[in-house]
A and B are shown apart, each in its own frame.
Chain A
Amino acid sequence: NAGVTQTPKFRILKIGQSMTLQCAQDMNHNYMYWYRQDPGMGLKLIYYSVGAGITDKGEVPNGYNVSRSTTEDFPLRLELAAPSQTSVYFCASSGTPGGFNYGYTFGSGTRLTVV
């Protein structure tokens, strides 16, 4: 049971480039989330999804897009990368709304640097 799998683990982008961060879970969870974590700033929600075909913005969605075509996959797209998007990105999933009762399962993270 792999849980939540994120790829790539590390990436360096040039300003203005685009990329997709991949996230897949094999727990049949309906709820999936993308967070970014900056040093000393905690986890900030970028986008979330409550099921296939349904996505919504979180606290810091600007510069990002998501899609959810299947229950398993929740990719995060960065368009026109900017230095402010340098961060560690975590994908998470839960079997209950908002992680109620059981919390979240996190992927191992993607460390992105924009230069």
Chain B
Amino acid sequence: QKEVEQNSGPLSVPEGAIASLNCTYSDRGSQSFFWYRQYSGKSPELIMSIYSNGDKEDGRFTAQLNKASQYVSLLIRDSQPSDSATYLCAVVRAGNQFYFGTGTSLTVIP
């Protein structure tokens, strides 16, 4: 079982719609959760972090964490073509081990 699992996609949504990206993790002791955005040919950039159960909102982005289900999600409201990228889920396990998922490719169609 992988430490962090994501659906590789591609996920396509029309402009203005909500994009929903999902991630599951294997270690119940995981402490910190991150979403990175990576444009083609570029390095990952941190867009959201979440540490407690529930929702965390930042502009058009909402991160959701459910530790009981070992599930992290990222919602992007009012999706724009500029949101088209690969989204990487990252998890910090107990012992400060940092694991990345393989990423979900998102395409926002104008």
Q: For the complex, would chain B's binding face be called helix, strand, loop or mixed by DSSP majority?
A: loop
- What number of A-B contacts does a CB cutoff of 8 Å give? 56
Asked if residues A101 and B51 are in contact (CB atoms below 8 Å), the reply is: yes
Q: How far is the CA of A40 from the CA of B31 in the complex (A)?
A: 26
Q: How far is the CA of A45 from the CA of B51 in the complex (A)?
A: 23
Q: Say how far B107's CB is from chain A's closest CB, in angstroms.
A: 16
**Tally of contact residues, A, Cβ under 8 A:** 21
Asked if residues B32 and A108 are in contact (CB atoms below 8 Å), the reply is: no
Q: How far is the CA of A109 from the CA of B51 in the complex (A)?
A: 28
Closest A residue to B43 by beta carbon equals A106
Q: Say how far B1's CB is from chain A's closest CB, in angstroms.
A: 15
Closest B residue to A91 by beta carbon equals B43
Q: Any chain A CB within 8 A of the CB of B29?
A: no
- On B, residues with C-beta under 8 Å from A are 8, 31-32, 34, 36, 42-46, 49, 51, 88, 90, 92-93, 95-98, 100-103
